[in-house]
Amino acid sequence: MDRKEFISQLGIGAAFVLTSTCLGGCLRESRVIDDVNLVVDLNNPDFAALTQPGGFITTEGVVVAQTFSGEYVAATMTCSHDQEDKIIFDSTGNKWFCTEHSAEFSLEGDGLNATGSKGLTVFTVEHDQNNGTLKIFS
């Protein structure tokens, strides 16, 4: 049997084995959190960064920030580009930013560059000034 015959006999079966192994290693399960119901106590020292404009924290797969205008915003930590939990609040640009591949998103979750084109899940934030808490929900 020559090389051409051998390759043709391998055919689709070998191609399937090779590509399924590659794809299985390259694909990741979605970790995006889209159903959220959190309460953040602004009096808790663990969340002190939220008392300052531009500050942010991460908790339970969510990044929560205070903008320079004093608004509280929240989004999933998981980047839609490659499912990495690398989203932070970029206070200098007043946007969400992925530290892994530089994806950028508006505070509303719209992609601002090619790697951010899939958008980002954002959540509603209600600030209860009377008891110093933030309610974050989908």
Q: How many CB atoms lie within 10 A of CB 116?
A: 24
Would residue 31 count as lying in a domain? Answer: no
Domain residue limits at 57: 37-137
| Count of domains observed in the chain | 1
pTM for the predicted model, two decimal places = 0.76
Q: Which pLDDT value is given to residue 34?
A: 61
Would residue 15 count as lying in a domain? Answer: no
Would residue 92 count as lying in a domain? Answer: yes
Q: Which pLDDT value is given to residue 84?
A: 86
Per-residue tens of pLDDT for the chain, all 138 residues: 655 555 455 554 444 444 333 333 333 444 556 689 999 999 999 999 999 999 999 999 999 999 999 999 999 999 998 888 999 999 999 999 999 999 999 999 999 999 999 999 999 999 999 999 999 999
**What is the CATH classification number for the domain harbouring 57?**
2.102.10.10
Q: How many CB atoms lie within 10 A of CB 23?
A: 9
Q: Who's near 47: CB < 8 A, 6+ residues apart?
A: 40, 41, 57, 59, 64
Would residue 77 count as lying in a domain? Answer: yes
